[in-house]
């Protein structure tokens, strides 16, 4: 079995601690490699809370005496004192992340993020950001840098906020940002100063140009070129406020070869010329 775990006190301590609002006690990830199965049975549960995330494959959990298959993209919550029984099987290729926590505001924290009373299994969808945050928590528990105990609840809070965000997208009818749009946003932010042709970009990613523009607009609220322009103008404002570059230099830095064209786009977007903007907003010593 592959295991990567971290513990607050270097050991698995099962306790209720109400001295602080939220305390992360341990966190880990399990993957079956050679073991054919793994089962956990706690007839009286634990004193703390446990949250498990099925990142891949599937697992089997028993709720109210009935076994239930839980597929990837779900989180299972056990509150203190609730009997626990669950199993993983090698043939199902499970990858399970888990975290134990306690604190005086743990229940309020859960409720505000979608885990209301009575909920034991929550559909969250799969997202690599969940795994990254779990791994970050594990790492902080292992390294235990200065202030790590204060950082852990913030990381856990970030994790649950991402979950809440995804669920709110589902409720609103938005199935979540497509990976193609996520990639494009990252690419545009990293390459805004180059000459980007939307048709060429879409073809390079094996996408229909019309589909890409429609999808990008759906999730960002603007067309791809409009988004790139917003990045360029935002960067130009920063340079106008905080550097002594002239207008031509700034135009070149943010991706415009023609300073006059840059000034025209800037005025249309910002409502004034670059020189007027600098005069009104430049940082003074």
Instruction: Specify the pLDDT at position 15.
Output: 86
**Where does a domain end: 151, 171, 191?**
171
Q: What is the pLDDT of residues 72-84, one digit of tens each?
A: 999 999 999 999 9
- Say if residue 47 is in the same domain as residue 123: yes
What is the average pLDDT across 18-43? 92
Stretch 84-113: mean pLDDT? 93
Q: In this structure, what DSSP letter does residue 145 have?
A: -
Q: How does pLDDT run across 244-281, given as a tens digit for each residue?
A: 899 999 999 999 999 999 999 999 999 999 999 998 88
Cβ pair 252, 190 in contact under 8 A: no
For residues 7 and 46, membership in a common domain is answered with yes
Instruction: Looking at the structure, tell me whether residues 98 and 15 fall in a common domain.
Output: yes
Listed residues 171, 206, 234: the one ending a domain? 171
Distance of alpha carbon 60 from alpha carbon 69, whole angstroms? 5
Specify whether 40 is located in the same domain as 141.
Answer: yes
Antiparallel, parallel or unpaired: β 23-31 and 2-7: antiparallel
Report whether pLDDT(174) > 60: no
Span 169-190, average pLDDT? 73
The answer on 203 and 69 residing in a single domain is: no
Taking CA atoms, 160 is separated from 52, 78, 279, in Å, by: 12, 15, 44
Tell me, yes or no, whether 146 and 188 share the same domain: no
CATH number, domain of 192, equals 1.10.10.60
Query: Radius of gyration of the chain from Cα atoms?
Result: 25
Burial class (CB in 10 A: 0-12, 13-18, 19+), 9: exposed
Question: Which tokens belong to 150?
Answer: 């204060």
Answer for the pair 160, 46: CB distance below 8 angstroms, yes or no: no
DSSP characters over 225-239: HHHHHHHHHHHHHHH
Residues 18 and 150 in one domain: yes
Average pLDDT over residues 185-202: 92
Q: Are residues 7 and 148 in the same domain?
A: yes
Residues 59 and 164 in one domain: yes
Burial of 185 (0-12, 13-18, 19+ CB in 10 A): middle
Range of the domain at 120: 2-171
- For the chain, give the number of residues: 285
Does 128 or 196 have the greater pLDDT score? 196
Q: What is the arithmetic mean of pLDDT over 119-136?
A: 88
Shared-domain flag, residues 160 and 204:
no
User: Does 159 lie in the same domain as 200?
Assistant: no
pLDDT band for position 283 (cuts 50, 70, 90): low
Q: Is the pLDDT of residue 8 over 80?
A: yes
Q: How many domains does the chain have?
A: 2
Looking at the structure, do residues 53 and 90 belong to the same domain, yes or no?
yes
Domain boundary among 117, 140, 171: 171
Name which residue leads in pLDDT, 177 or 61. Answer: 61
Assign residue 9 the CATH number of its domain.
2.60.120.280
- Tokens read off for 179: 């990976």
pTM of the complete model? 0.65
Q: What are all long-range contacts of 207-211, with beta carbons under 8 Å and residues at least 24 apart?
A: 207/180
What share of the chain in percent tops pLDDT 90? 68
Q: Say what the pLDDT of residue 133 is.
A: 94
């Amino acid at each position: 079995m592959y295991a990567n775990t971290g513990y607050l006190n270097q050991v698995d301590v099962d306790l209720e601690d109400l001295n602080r609002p939220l305390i992360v006690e341990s966190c880990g990830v399990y993957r079956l490699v050679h073991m054919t199965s793994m089962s956990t049975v706690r007839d009286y549960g634990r004193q703390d809370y446990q949250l498990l995330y099925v990142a891949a494959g599937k697992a089997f959990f028993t709720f109210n005496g009935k076994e239930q298959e839980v597929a990837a993209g779900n989180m299972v919550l056990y509150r203190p004192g609730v009997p626990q029984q669950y199993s993983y099987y090698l043939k199902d290729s499970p990858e399970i992340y888990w975290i134990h926590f306690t604190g005086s505001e743990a229940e309020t924290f859960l409720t505000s993020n979608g885990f209301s009373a009575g909920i034991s299994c929550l559909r969250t969808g799969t997202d690599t950001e969940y795994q990254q945050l779990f791994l970050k928590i594990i790492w902080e528990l292992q390294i235990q840098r200065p202030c790590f105990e204060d950082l852990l609840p913030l990381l856990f809070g970030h994790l649950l906020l991402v979950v809440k965000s995804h669920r709110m997208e589902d409720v609103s009818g938005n199935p979540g940002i497509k990976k193609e749009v996520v990639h494009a946003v990252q690419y545009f932010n990293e390459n805004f100063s180059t000459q980007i042709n939307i048709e060429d970009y879409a073809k390079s990613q094996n996408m229909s140009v019309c589909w890409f523009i429609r999808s990008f607009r759906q999730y960002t609220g603007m067309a791809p070129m409009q988004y790139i322009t917003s990045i360029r103008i935002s960067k130009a404002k920063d340079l106008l406020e905080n550097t002594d570059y002239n207008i031509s230099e700034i135009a070149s830095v943010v991706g415009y070869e023609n300073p006059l064209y840059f000034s025209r786009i800037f005025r249309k977007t910002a409502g004034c010329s670059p020189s007027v903007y600098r005069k009104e907003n430049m940082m003074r010593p």
